[in-house]
Amino acid sequence: MGKGICCPKFDPIPWNEKDFEWKDKKFIKGKVFTLFYMPMNFKAVIKGMMKKIEDAGANTPDGMGLSDHTSKWNMDLYVAVDREIPGAENTTLSGKFVSKVYEGPYKNTGKWCEDFQDFVKNKNLNIKKWYLWYTTCPKCAKKYGNNYVTIIGKID
């Protein structure tokens, strides 16, 4: 990656308004302290997770990191991996999912979530679990000129 770029460039096309299924997709899980949903130690948590991935000689498919805001005080972070990672909380996700990509400032997240609910409802589907994929860090989003956020919903 280029100078000052830490996140892979995101291609929204494969993820925009898509239905897909995962069977035991591998992730490692971390916990981020949030203050009224605002991540406080995200950088430290993601750096620690990425170091474990690097030390294991593993990769992060699509640069995927899914955020699950479980409360005002916690966000579970799931980073996709291509193998089990020693010393990490290894987990998998399985099921049917739907995704939609949004672009713009994070302050639009509430509007995006409302739109995603309408999108899923119009497909006659029910969301069982939400994940937000902040596809690049703010610095890389600025360098690329796009701040893509993908909402992924596990459906029944």
pLDDT above 50 for 132: yes
What is the secondary structure of 24-63 as a DSSP string? EEEEEEEEEEEETTEESSHHHHHHHHHHHHHHTT---GGG
Domain boundaries, the chain: 14-155
pTM for the model stands at 0.92
d(CA 152, CA 98): 6
pLDDT above 90 for 127: yes
Tell me the CATH class for 14-155: alpha beta
pLDDT score recorded for residue 1: 47
Q: What is the pLDDT of residues 9-59, one digit of tens each?
A: 999 999 999 999 999 999 999 999 999 888 899 989 999 999 999 999 999
Type of residue numbered 63 = G
d(CA 147, CA 133): 11
